[in-house]
Amino acid sequence: MATLNINGQTMDIGEIDPSTPLLWVLRDELGLVGTKYGCGIAQCGACTVHMNGAPVRSCQIPVGNLTDQQITTIEGLAAADGTLTPVQEAWVELDVPQCGYCQAGQIMSATALLNNNQNPSDADIDAAMSGNICRCATYSRIRQAIKDAAAKMNGTAFYDAAQTGEIA
Amino acid sequence: MKLITDNLSPELPGFFQDLTSTPKLEIPELSRRQFFKVSGITGGGLVIGLALGTGSNKAKAQSAAADATSTLSPYVQIQPNGRINIFSKNPECGQGIKTGLPLIIADELDCAWEDVDVVQADIDASKYGAQFAGGSLSTPMNWMAMRQAGATGRAMILAAAAQQLNIPLTELSTSNTKVVHATSGREWGYGEFAELAATMPVPDAASLTLKTKDQFTLMGKRFTGVDNHDIVTGKPLFGADTRLDGMLFASYTKCPQIGGRALSFNESHIKSLRGVVDAFILDEFGNPKMFNPGGGDMFSGVAIVAESTWAALKAKRELEIEWDLSNAEVSSWSEIVERAYAMKDEDGEPLMTTSRGPNGPTTVPASKGDAEAVLQNAATVVSGFYEYPYVSHAQLEPETCTALYQNGNVEIWAPAQIPQSGESGSAVLLGIPAEEAAQRVVLHQTRIGGGFGRKLANDYVFEVVAIARRMEGRPVLLQWTREDDMGGDYFRPGGFHSYTAGLDSVGNLTAWQDHFFTSTGNDTAPMTSADLNPNVFPKDVIDNVKLSQTMFHNAIPTGPMRAPASNAFAFSFQGFMHELAIASGKSHVDFLLDTLGDPRLANPENPQSMHTGRAANVISEVARISGYEQGASEPGRAKGLSFYFCHSGYVAQVADVSVNANKEVKIHKVWAVGDFGFIHNLSGAENQMEGGIIDGISQLFNAKITFENGIIQQQNFHQYPLLRMPQAPELEVSFLEPEEFSPTGGGEPSMPPVLAAVTNAIYNATGDRIRKMPLFELGYKLV
């Protein structure tokens, strides 16, 4: 029986078709529907999750290839007591979402950026966020929210990417 | 504040007309008392299928626990702990209405916003009137009714307090969710009077005292979206997030050549695949090439029902389908382009328009004055031929919907922009008589992962209803792929304008001629959103206008997209206006202001027509804040200006643009000034304007759908790129808020002007006049 490590927990995914993309395992088998389907070809970034701290497109990763990988999804960012991360807080306070459908992917990309670079330049933000489409075009607020989150973080990373998806 | 309540757009599309009776706040006693039991809605926002007996035990338990909640109206409840439930009636698709409408109620109810829980209302015309997201109409149509809903609740709470406290009503007031007795300095939370308030007679709307603008405690400030926390934590909100016990997942595959019908498919192979539960052909219903949200219309195709989304999508790739192409589309965009250019110097058929006089609508010529004679005597004559393509909505959430069919009834969970038409169309599809539809078809609205007009159509709702009927007793979630979406849209139609206009000896615009080329599916009228409105600026303010039209037979499905028609007209009309401004020798600003003339309604008989003074004010203000001036500020860099009026909103925008020798375009900044009347949530209005500008830039450079022999040629974002973070310019947005005008919607009027602002800037920087969208086809690249 296959298991995955998701948001710091070992989860049983049963006898599943190993070609199933991680995206659909999260959504259909584990009920973690925060990760979204937008294109299925790694063009839009709505399905972005972290694998060992790095942003990946979950629509492209067959679940059969996932052994000993630490997966973090949007549901795994906030602390157990519900405290939001600085990125999530900034997103709420700056009223970034319009329809909101892409924002889980945007937040995962932004979180990975800030985990490695607590003082990103505009060029850093462009590079880290260019894989995520926002059809409502909330880009200017996303950019500002990343800067606001960086200020809130005050030089502290979210987590050590080498560790197991623990959120600071 | 003087309030104009009848603020509907003059360009209201026909399919909205049966929905636009301004909702009256009528709260019948029965409706009020039964409200909670019927709707089964709790403060947590959980929607329960009690009407069909399908509610879960957990939901029923919550329902019972919430019975202590006091219901004042379909819009206002008081929870036992004193918190206030405010119901948001209309679908939320990113336009911010789930925050915006409750904010209006809360202010008149005199609540502190932090004491409010917003609950998405269920679909029920008997309680909420028309419930839809379209036409930038949610705010203007509901502005007065929402204020009355809040004031009604406040009056009932005050009346209950007076009775319960035995204090004269005149000595009581309200503030921040509290009843206040100023004389004694005492105050009580609304919750103290909840039970009694719910039994108070509902005051007559005429007896209500609404706040004046200076008494607003909430409206006019910035408020963040009520779902933001759930969005950033990944909570289930959207259509595809619906999860029900025993749920199945479906794909649906239609003919790539639009309108083809499935005859047979490799059924035994598909059914043998892992996870596939069933697979079958569905017939076409109605005439789905034509946009018709409430008809049940859907294309033929093959449904695959499986135990997981992936099983349904993986099996879809292995489908081999034999199609009957006898009714399939055969039109090609390349042929239409060729025919239009060949006819660009010819006249079309005289354009007719509908005039709504005292004796009802009549068909009259859209032309006025004598444009031909004036053009012959004009000091300067300018011509230009403009082209724009078909465009896909490309909302990020592909079409998805869930349905459960049981005992001849159906329950639906849909991210629909016109959910009421989703209900009525489902009844048509299932053969349920209209008088039984309200009982037998129940639709729950979910948050919409982007609408932009695509989810005004309910084709995907009808598809899953038809699939669920075959899978009786099991809920089925239908998931379209991006390829299904892009190849099966109700597209923004492409078209062409052949303009000729005349200027007199002092550079004033005196005549305007437009031969409009469009598509028709029935050879009688243009396709949906493919018609020319004779009131587009500047035709509405000049005396001599000649309009003609050529329709090509082409039934590739079309429908409304954000700022229907305006999203293309603004490019061509306001690009050509800049051509005229250059020819006039005046500055662009002066040419626009001179054309607008004295402050007045463009059509004195139509209070919803453009007010030239409001138009002039946004133009002057955007020129001021941007430092707009004609000509290049440095080699290859200049600003461009554009103005557009639609959906009752006035917007002027200026783009600051650099173009290098490789035709790489950098948009440094866009300034926007809007007039949507009074703005009750500034953050929401700013969001719409910011999104509209970038949406427009994205379409201008890269959006083009083509079709050959009825087959859409683009399938996914690699062939239909959307603007990304590095290309997004700096934005500066502001609003004029003239005192005397109540709010109108910002979702649509925010988008159109930027199209021509950018192309006019490119002209000012380089001298290259752009008369065709998208710009990538002219060698331009947005960087």
Q: How distant, in Å, are the alpha carbons of A6, A156, B89 from that of A60?
A: 17, 31, 38
Q: Which residues in chain B have Cβ-Cβ distances shorter than 8 Å to A107? A: 232
Confidence of residue B607 (pLDDT cuts 50, 70, 90): confident
Of B455, B487, B519, at which residue does a domain stop? Answer: B487
Beta bridge pairs of residue B380: B503
Strands B476-479 and B248-254: parallel
User: Which residues does B358 contact at the CB level (< 8 Å), separation at least 6?
Assistant: none
Judged by CB atoms closer than 8 Å, whether chains meet at B690 and A140 is answered as: yes
pLDDT in tens, B471-522: 999 999 999 999 999 999 999 999 999 999 999 999 999 999 999 999 999 9
Q: How many CA atoms lie within 13 A of A61 on its CB side?
A: 20
Decide if A91 and B398 are in contact by the 8 Å CB cutoff.
no
pLDDT of residue B80: 86
Residue A108 has pLDDT above 60, yes or no: yes
Average pLDDT rounded to a whole number, residues A81-100: 97
Any A CB within 8 A of B416 CB: no
| Position B483 in a domain | yes
Domain count within chain B = 3
B452 DSSP 8-state letter:
T
The whole-angstrom separation of Cα A21 and Cα B719 is 23
pLDDT band at A158 (very low <50, low <70, confident <90, very high): confident
Per-residue confidence band for B465, with pLDDT thresholds at 50, 70 and 90: very high
pLDDT at B85 over 90: yes
Which of A43, A73, A103 has the CB atom closest to B717's CB atom? A43
3-class secondary structure, B349: strand
As a whole number, mean pLDDT of residues B105-122 equals: 97
Do A93 and A69 have their domain in common? no
Of B196, B231, B266, the domain-final residue: B231
Residues A118-146 have a mean pLDDT of 97
Substitution target in B232, B241, B273, B698 with the highest count of A β-carbons within 10 Å is: B232
The interface residues of chain B toward chain A in range 285-324, judged by CB-CB distance below 8 A, are: 308-311, 313-314
Its domain, for residue A9, covers 2-76
Does the beta-carbon distance from A74 to B726 stay under 8 Å?
no
Same domain, residue pair A91 and A138:
yes
DSSP SS3 for B778: helix
Look up residue B409 and give its amino acid. N
Cα–Cα distances in angstroms (integers) from residue B504 to residues B105, B374, B539, in the given order: 53, 9, 16
Q: Who contacts B435 (Cβ-Cβ below 8 Å, separation ≥6)? A: none
Residues B226 and B273 occupy one common structural domain: no
- Is B409 among the domain residues? yes
Q: How many domains does chain A divide into?
A: 2
Whether residue A126 lies within 8 A of chain B, CB to CB, comes out as: yes
Q: Do B227 and A140 touch (CB under 8 A)?
A: no
Q: d(Cα B302, Cα B322) in Å, to the nearest integer?
A: 10
d(CA B592, CA B574) in angstroms, rounded, equals: 10
A131-135, A153-157, B583-587: range with lowest mean pLDDT: A153-157
- Domain of residue B281 covers 239-325+393-487
Q: Taking CB atoms and an 8 Å cutoff, what residues of chain B touch A21?
A: 310
- Which of the listed residues A56, A76, A96 is the one where a domain comes to its end? A76
Interaxial angle between packed helices B459-470 and B419-430, expressed in degrees from 0 to 180 and rounded to the nearest 10: 40
SS3 B762: helix
Among the partner residues B234, B236, B717, nearest to A133 by beta-carbon distance: B717
B748/B19 Cα distance (integer angstroms): 19
Domain assignment present for A168? no
Look at residue A67 in the predicted model and tell me its pLDDT. Answer: 76
Average pLDDT over residues B173-194: 97
* Min Cα separation A68/chain B (Å): 23
DSSP state, residue B362 = E
Q: Do residue B187 and residue B321 come from a single domain?
A: no
CATH of the domain at B120: 3.30.365.10
Report cis status (omega within 30 of 0) of the bond before B538: yes
What are the two backbone dihedrals, phi and then psi, of residue B370, each rounded to the nearest 5 degrees? -135, 80
- Our measurement of the distance from residue B585's CA atom to the centroid of its chain's CA atoms, rounded to an integer in Å, reads 39
Q: Is the pLDDT at B357 greater than 80, yes or no? A: no
Q: Please indicate, yes or no, whether residues A108 and A68 belong to a single structural domain of this protein.
A: no
Residues A71 and A122 in one domain: no
- Confidence class of residue A1 from pLDDT cuts 50, 70 and 90? low
Asked if residue B463 has pLDDT above 80, the reply is yes
Q: Contacts of residue A125 in chain B, CB cutoff 8 Å?
A: 725
Same domain (yes/no): A61, A108: no
Domain annotation covers residue B460: yes
Residue pLDDT, tens place only, B146-162 = 999 999 999 999 999 99
Rg, Å, chain A Cα set = 15
Residue of A nearest to B483 (CA): A39
Q: In this structure, are residues B716 and A39 in contact, taking their beta carbons and an 8 Å threshold?
A: yes
CB atoms within 10 A of CB B380: 15
Q: Are residues B201 and B280 in the same domain?
A: no
Task: Give the C-alpha separation, B244 to B234, whole Å.
Answer: 18
pLDDT digits (tens, 9 = 90+) for B226-279: 999 999 999 999 999 999 999 999 999 999 999 999 999 999 999 999 999 999
pLDDT of residue A160: 60
B221 and B254 assigned to the same domain: no
Residues A69, A96, single domain; the answer is no
A52 lies in some domain? yes
In a domain, B511, yes or no: no
* Res B110 pLDDT > 80: yes
Q: Cβ contacts (< 8 Å) between B238 and chain A: which residues?
A: 36, 100-101
Instruction: Please state the separation of Cα B720 from the chain's center in Å.
Output: 21
How sure is the predictor about B62, in pLDDT bands with cuts at 50, 70 and 90?
Answer: very low
Question: What's the whole-number mean pLDDT along residues B27-55?
Answer: 32
From chain A, pick out residues whose CB is under 8 angstroms from the CB of B249. Answer: 28
Query: Does the residue B430 lie in any domain?
Result: yes
DSSP secondary structure string, A92-107?
A: HHTT--SS-TTHHHHH
A140 and B730 Cβ atoms separated by less than 8 Å: yes
A119 token code pair: 């003082």
Beta-carbon separation of A46 and B396 below 8 A: yes
Q: How far is CA B723 from CA A34, A130, B749, B783, in A?
A: 24, 9, 20, 10
In the predicted structure, residue B41 carries a pLDDT above the cut 50: no
Q: Best mutation site among B233, B690, B697, B699 for testing chain A: the one with the most A CBs within 10 Å? A: B233
Selection from B51-65, B67-81, B342-356, B672-686 with the highest mean pLDDT: B672-686
Q: Considering the domain boundaries, does residue A94 fall inside one? A: yes
| Inside any domain, residue A160 | no
From the list B232, B314, B395, which residue is nearest A107 (CB)? B232
Specify the range with the lowest mean pLDDT, choosing from B101-105, B205-209, B386-390.
B205-209
Q: Number of CB pairs < 8 Å for A and B? A: 192
B29 alpha carbon, distance to own chain's centre: 34
Same domain, B208 and B285: no
What does the alpha-carbon distance between residue B96 and residue B643 come to, in Å, rounded to a whole number? 24
Domain contains A166: no
Are B647 and B726 found together in one domain?
A: yes
Residues of B in contact with A109 (CB under 8 A): none
Q: Does A129 touch chain B (CB under 8 A)?
A: yes
Neighbours of B339 (CB within 10 A): 13
Closest alpha carbon within chain B to A106: B232
Q: How far is A155 from chain B (nearest CA, A)?
A: 22
- Alpha-helical (H) ranges within B458-549 are 459-470, 482-487
Q: Is residue B558 part of a domain?
A: no
Q: Are residues B147 and B269 in the same domain?
A: no
Q: Are B449 and A103 an interchain contact pair (Cβ–Cβ within 8 Å)?
A: no
Which two structure tokens, joined as six digits, stand for B339? 């025919």
Q: Indicate the angle between helix axes A103-116 and A86-93, nearest 10 degrees.
A: 130
Q: Tell me the per-residue pLDDT of B389-427, one tens digit each, with 9 for 90 and over.
A: 999 999 999 999 999 999 999 999 999 999 999 999 999
Of A40, A136, A138, the CB nearest to B481: A40
pLDDT at B20 over 80: no
CATH number, residue A7: 3.10.20.30
| Contact residues, chain A, for B222 at CB < 8 Å | 95
Give CA–CA dist B258/A27, Å, rounded.
31
Residue B502 lies in a domain: no
- pLDDT for the residue numbered B39: 32
pLDDT over 70 at B733, yes or no: yes
Same domain, A62 and A44: yes
B163 and B311 belong to one structural domain: no
The two three-digit tokens of residue B582, written as one number: 């250059």
Mean of per-residue pLDDT scores for chain A: 92
Q: Of chain B residues 263-282, which have a CB less than 8 A from chain A?
A: 274-275
How would DSSP label each residue in B683-712?
HHHHHHHHHHHHHHHHHHHH--B-EETTEE
Sheet holding B186-189, edge to edge: B172-175, B178-181, B186-189
Residue-wise pLDDT for B539-553, tens only, equals 999 999 999 999 999
Of B231, B258, B284, the last residue of a domain is B231
- Could you report the per-residue pLDDT of A31-62, keeping only the tens digit for each? 999 999 999 999 999 999 999 999 999 999 99
Backbone angles phi, psi at B512, to 5 degrees: -140, 130
Asked whether the predicted pLDDT for residue B24 surpasses 80, the reply is no
Nearest to A131 by CA among A141, A142, A120: A142
The CB-side HSE value for B422 (13 A sphere, CA atoms) comes to: 34
Cβ neighbours of A17 in B, within 8 Å:
274-275, 310-311, 314
Evaluate whether residue A148 is within a structural domain.
yes
Show the 3-state SS of B619-657.
Answer: HHHHHHHHCCCCCEEECCEEEEEEEEEECCEEEEEEEEE
Q: Does A146 touch chain B (CB under 8 A)?
A: no
Share of chain B above pLDDT 90, in %: 87
Mean of the per-residue pLDDT values for chain B? 91
Cα B419 to Cα A89, B31, B47, B416, B733, distances in angstroms: 33, 21, 15, 5, 32
Asked, as a colleague might, if the bond just before B774 is cis with ω within 30 of 0, I would say yes
Is A165 a domain residue?
A: no
Tell me: do B288 and B162 sit in the same domain: no
Q: Is residue B352 part of a domain?
A: no
Of A19, A98, A141, the CB nearest to B94: A98
Rounded to two decimals, the ipTM of the complex is 0.96
B 524-583: CB under 8 A from A = none
Adjacent-strand bridge partners of B354: B363
With beta carbons less than 8 A apart as the criterion, state whether B513 and B532 touch.
no
Please give the helix or strand (H or E) that residue A57 lies within, else none: strand A54-57
pLDDT of B271-324, one tens digit each?
A: 999 999 999 999 999 999 999 999 999 999 999 999 999 999 999 999 999 999
Q: Which amino acid is at B486?
A: M
CB B657 within 8 A of CB B762: yes
Q: Which candidate from A27, A97, A133 shows the least CB-CB separation from B724?
A: A133
Give the separation between CA A27 and CA B23, rounded to whole angstroms.
Answer: 39
pLDDT at A161 over 90: no
B728:A143 CB<8 A: yes
Phi-psi region of B739 (alpha: psi -120 to 50; beta: other; left: phi over 0): alpha
Q: Which residue, A53, A76, A99, sits at the end of a domain?
A: A76
- Considering the domain architecture, whether residues B62 and B122 belong to the same structural domain is answered as yes
pLDDT category, B356, cuts 50, 70, 90?
confident
Q: Could you tell me if A74 lies within 8 Å of chain B, comparing CB atoms?
A: yes
Span B654-690, pLDDT tens digits: 999 999 999 999 999 999 999 999 999 999 999 999 9
Chain B hits for A102, Cβ within 8 Å? 396
For chain B, counts of helices (H) and of strands (E): 20, 31
Of the residues A44, A76, A108, the one at which a domain ends: A76
Q: Which residues of B722-752 are buried (b: 16+ CB within 10 A; e: fewer)?
A: bbbbebbbebebebbbeeebbbbbbbbbbbb
Tally the C-alpha atoms within 13 A of residue B446's C-alpha that lie toward its C-beta. 26
DSSP assignment letter at B770: P
Asked if residue B103 and residue B191 are part of one domain, the reply reads: yes
Tell me the CB-side half-sphere exposure of residue B238, using CA atoms within 13 A. 31
Residues 20-49 of A with CB under 8 A from B: 20-21, 24, 27-29, 31-41, 43-44, 46
d(CA B380, CA B509): 10
Counting every residue written for chain A, the total comes to 168
- Tell me whether residue A56 is in a domain: yes
Which neighbouring-strand residues pair with B734? B673
CATH number at residue A136: 1.10.150.120
A-contacting residues in B 197-226 (Cβ below 8 Å): 222-225
Residue given tokens 């009421």 in the structure block: B420
Same domain, B766 and B680: yes
Rounded alpha-carbon distances, angstroms, from residue B577 to B589, B592, B612, B625, B648: 11, 8, 16, 22, 21
Q: Do A22 and A56 reside in the same domain of the chain?
A: yes
